[in-house]
Amino acid sequence: MAKKGSTVFVCQECGYESSKWMGQCICGAWNTMVEEKIAEVKDGDKRRRASAKESPSGGVKAGKPSKLLEISSGEKGRLDTGIGELNRVLGGGLVLGSLTLISGEPGIGKSTIIIQAAANIASREGVVLYVSGEESENQIKIRADRVCRGLSDNLFILAETNMENIAAVCEELKPVFLIIDSIQTMYTADLDSAPGSVSQVRGCGNELMRIGKVKNIPVFIVAHVTKTGDLAGPRIVEHMVDCVLSFTGDRSHEMRILRAQKNRFGTTSEIGAFEMSEEGLLEIENLSGTLLEEMDENSEGAIATAVYEGTRPLVLEVQALTSPTNIGFARRTSIGIDNSRLNMIIAVLEKKMGLSLMNQDVYVNIVGGIKPEGTYTDLAVALAVYSSYRGKALGSRTLVLGEIGLTGDLRAVQNGEKILREAARLGFERVILPIKNAEKLAKPLVDINKERGESNMKRVELTGMKNIREVQRMFTP
Ligand SMILES: Nc1ncnc2c1ncn2[C@@H]1O[C@H](COP(=O)(O)OP(=O)(O)O)[C@@H](O)[C@H]1O
Ligand SMILES: [Mg+2]
Ligand SMILES: [Zn+2]
């Protein structure tokens, strides 16, 4: 091992250490090697515990095997945050002893959602400690007064950036929930490097993991990201934690989307939707309705479609625009769907529907900042491009759904019935979908239309289609 006081070059992306400076790290990143003092503990005996195996009593002991049968599965051990959308993204609340990272651009609302959850947990479960290295106690109080409905005397604020002091306060307060806002401002006196460096983030992360595990409490860590969506500072923290949540949205609009990028205790396909308001973040219950609010069904290039995200159907709007290319290659730009998926759909449109898009720029956007997973939106994207290119609207109250294969055939999607019910609830009267889905939905459709008949609503009609040529014929009289 190197002498104390000597230095090492550490990649700020992946944490790789090298004794010499390198222009490109082994992880492929350029100019990420930064000279840091050797990450050696100053006070060997006392502080090495961060990395050593430890028993809950505090002493170091060797690992002992346990009978799997006798280990409690911990599934009961979840803390309700009092925010339904947050609980759902987490997979049913905060797992005791877990580390969760919430990342997002400055100003997106990370501190807001966290203080709201903190206030809820403090009033129901016990002491909550909110540590901030970003803001003064005063600033936090002003926000809390604005966004929390009633403050419990169990909610404690600590303006601190030193991990040793934070650990000491935890010993004293014994919180049931600990929040660190943000990891980039924290440091441990064991290390000489600056807050936000790889060694500091790793050191602080280890210490927080230790606190969480020993006390069996959930720990929430806030992290900033840059404009391009990368973590500002070391990625290493993403590997250390159990869950990574990202909070996104357009700051000029009120809607905010929370999704899990990594979750050891649940799926990563759930999304949570919020609206930023004077009173803090409000949960959006009818997300489909909100997404369709501004849709003009009579304008060309706008198509309603549906996806199944996590455990619920979601109806949303796809927009496309084609316009003649001025110079050079035609552009394909997509927001919310994979660019290579768009390229494939365009190829199918050209080959199977005879469209000539070689000299057309194509833009596709999923409204509301949603990035749906899966292939549910294929047919809607194709029809939106087609509709814009032909300058013809699809007609109102119509929803389009289905995966497109390379042959131009339409392939069935999952959870058709739940999607159909959501579409019916939102007032759609016609659903164009793969024939396989239509066949399966014939029975539920009878029930849905019976209910609608009773409340004097128009029937829903299903149009099952085999391939994209059939869909095209439907629109070309
Ligand atoms: N008085 C207010 N009324 C409504 N919204 C506000 C008010 N003050 C701040 N906000 C909103 O809160 C956001 C800041 O949230 P915050 O939780 O501090 O973000 P982060 O912690 O992610 O940087 C602002 O961008 C703004 O949208
Ligand atoms: Mg903040
Ligand atoms: Zn690297």
Tens digit of each residue's pLDDT (9 = 90 or more) over 33-52: 888 776 555 554 444 444 44
The closest of 466, 295, 470 to 397, measured between CA atoms, is 295
- Between the CA of 270 and the centroid of ligand 2 the distance, in Å, is 24
The ligand placed nearest to the CA atom of residue 235 is 3
DSSP 8-state assignment for residue 460: P
* Å from CA of 428 to ligand 2 middle: 41
Indicate which atom in ligand 1 lies nearest the CA of residue 106.
Answer: 23
Condensed to tens digits (0 to 9), the pLDDT of residues 117-155 reads: 999 999 999 999 999 999 999 999 999 999 998 899 999
Give dist(CA 317, CA 337) in Å, integer. Answer: 12
User: Which atom of ligand 1 approaches the CA of 104 most closely?
Assistant: 22
CA of 32 to the centre of ligand 2 (A): 26
pLDDT of 58 reads 45
Q: In this predicted model, which residue has the larger pLDDT, 164 or 10?
A: 164
Whether the pLDDT of residue 53 is over 50: the answer is no
pLDDT, tens digit, 9 for 90 and up, residues 292-304: 888 887 889 999 9
Does 358 score more than 80 pLDDT?
yes
CA of residue 143 to ligand 1 center, whole Å: 8
Q: Nearest ligand, CA of residue 248?
A: 1
Mutate which of 102, 108, 143 for ligand 1 pocket (most atoms within 8 A of beta carbon): 108
Torsion of CA 171, 173, 177, 179, to 10 degrees: -80
Contacts of 337 (CB under 8 A, 6+ apart): 364, 366, 371, 372, 377, 381
The pLDDT assigned to 55 comes to 44
Ligand 1: centre distance to CA 92 (Å)? 26
Closest atom of ligand 1 to CA, residue 135: 18
Kindly write down the DSSP assignment for every residue of 352-406, as one continuous string: HH----TTEEEEEEETTS----SSTTHHHHHHHHHHHHHT----TTEEE--EE-T
Cα–Cα distance measured from residue 234 to residue 254, given in angstroms and rounded to the nearest whole number: 29
Residue with CA nearest ligand 1 atom 14:
107
Name the 3-class secondary structure at 304.
strand
Strand ranges inside 225-301, DSSP E = 243-249, 255-263, 271-277, 280-283
Instruction: Kindly tell me if the per-residue pLDDT of 213 is higher than 50.
Output: yes
Name the token pair of 50. 């961060």
Helix (H) and strand (E) counts for the chain? 13, 23
Tell me what pLDDT residue 190 has.
Answer: 86
Give percent of the chain with pLDDT exceeding 70: 90
Mean pLDDT score across all residues of the chain = 87
Confidence of residue 384 (pLDDT cuts 50, 70, 90): very high
User: Worst-scoring range by mean pLDDT, 31-40, 225-234, 274-283?
Assistant: 225-234
**Residues flanking ion ligand 3, Cβ below 5 Å:** 11, 13-14, 16, 25, 27, 29
User: What is the per-residue pLDDT for 52?
Assistant: 40
Q: How close is the Cα of 178 to the center of ligand 3, in Å? A: 30
Band of pLDDT at residue 237, cut at 50, 70 and 90: confident
In this predicted model, which residue has the larger pLDDT, 196 or 141?
141
Of 181, 253, 276, 279, the one to substitute when testing ligand 1's pocket (max ligand atoms within 8 A of C-beta) is 276
pLDDT at 231: 67
Q: Measure 291 CA to ligand 2 centroid, in angstroms.
A: 27
According to the model, what pLDDT value does residue 61 have?
56
* pLDDT greater than 80 at residue 256: yes
Q: Is the predicted pLDDT of residue 192 greater than 90, yes or no?
A: no
What is the mean predicted confidence (pLDDT) over 401-423? 95
**CA-closest candidate to residue 367, choices 292, 312, 269:** 292
Per-residue CA distances from 72 to 68, 76, 136, 213 (Å): 9, 9, 41, 15
Q: For position 198, what pLDDT does the model report?
A: 83
Mutate to test the pocket of ligand 1, among 105, 112, 114, 246 (most ligand atoms within 8 A of CB): 112
Mean pLDDT of 285-297: 85
Q: Enumerate residues with CB within 5 Å of ligand 2 (an ion).
A: 111
List ligand 1's pocket residues with C-beta within 6 A: 104, 106-112, 251, 276, 278
């814009």: which residue's tokens?
A: 388
Q: Which of 11-15, 259-263, 290-294, 345-349 has the lowest mean pLDDT?
A: 11-15
User: What 3-state class would DSSP assign to 254?
Assistant: coil
Ligand nearest to the CA of 103: 1
At 319, the pLDDT band (50, 70, 90 cuts) reads very high
